[in-house]
Amino acid sequence: MNNSQTFKFKIVVIGDGGVGKTSLIKKFTHGTFEKDYIKTIGAQFTKLEKEINKDKISLVFWDIAGQSTFDFLNPLFYRESRACIIVYSLEENELGSESFKHIENWYDEMKMRCGNIPVVIFANKIDLIEESHLDTSKIQIITNKLKVLNYYITSAKTGQGVNDAFNIIIEKLYHKSKTLTSKI
């Protein structure tokens, strides 16, 4: 007797343009990294099939453009999202500081469109800074303030933290859905 189930999850990936959203998704789903930046227009969709405890997990990552030009499309992009990943850059430049400042804006937008769904923050591009000088106190403060699941230090280029970061949100969705279906 086969008791396996199929679960489908839409995960929205948001953050400022240039922080590495597309690169993180490609690293996780295909194991690849492209060094040349290509701006996402509107949104990109990436599918991934995964198995947990003999259950089939069908994932769709919605990579939403970080430029305000596409804000009018956001209601469509967020619809039916089951989880959210907010990405910012650790770079020690304007992109890094601005993308960190915008985490709360992205969170508020997601909350307005999606309600109470699991959220993780990816602090990306650790490969571009000296990790020993990284002060995680600010990200810890915002993680606690927003009551997100956690934050992860990642690098789409090297792969550092990428699998752990994605898998934690996928496993959270899976266990929550599995518990709900077992109660029915």
Per-residue pLDDT reduced to its tens digit, 41-50: 556 789 999 9
Which residues make beta-bridge pairs with 119?
A: 84
Q: Can you tell me the mean pLDDT for 114-143?
A: 96
Confidence of residue 14 (pLDDT cuts 50, 70, 90): very high
pTM: 0.91
Least confident range from 80-89, 97-106, 174-183: namely 174-183
The candidate with the shortest Cα–Cα distance to 163, out of 44, 34, 30, 64, is: 30
Domains within the chain, CATH numbers bracketed: 1-83 (3.40.50.300)
Report residue 11's pLDDT band, with 50, 70 and 90 as the boundaries: very high
Say yes or no to pLDDT of 182 above 80: no
Q: How confident is the model at residue 1 (pLDDT cuts 50, 70, 90)?
A: very low
pLDDT band at residue 2 under the 50/70/90 scheme = low
Half-sphere exposure of residue 20: CA atoms within 13 angstroms, side-chain side: 30
pLDDT band at 40 (very low <50, low <70, confident <90, very high): low
Radius of gyration of the chain (CA): 16
Alpha carbon distance 38, 29 (integer Å): 18
| Residue 50 near residue 148 (C-beta atoms within 8 A) | no
Helix-then-strand count for the chain, H and E: 6, 6
pLDDT digits (tens, 9 = 90+) for 60-99: 999 877 655 556 566 778 899 999 999 999 999 999 999 9
Calpha distance 63→85 (Å, rounded): 10
pLDDT digits (tens, 9 = 90+) for 17-35: 999 999 999 999 999 998 7
Average pLDDT (120-132) is 96
State the pLDDT at residue 42: 56
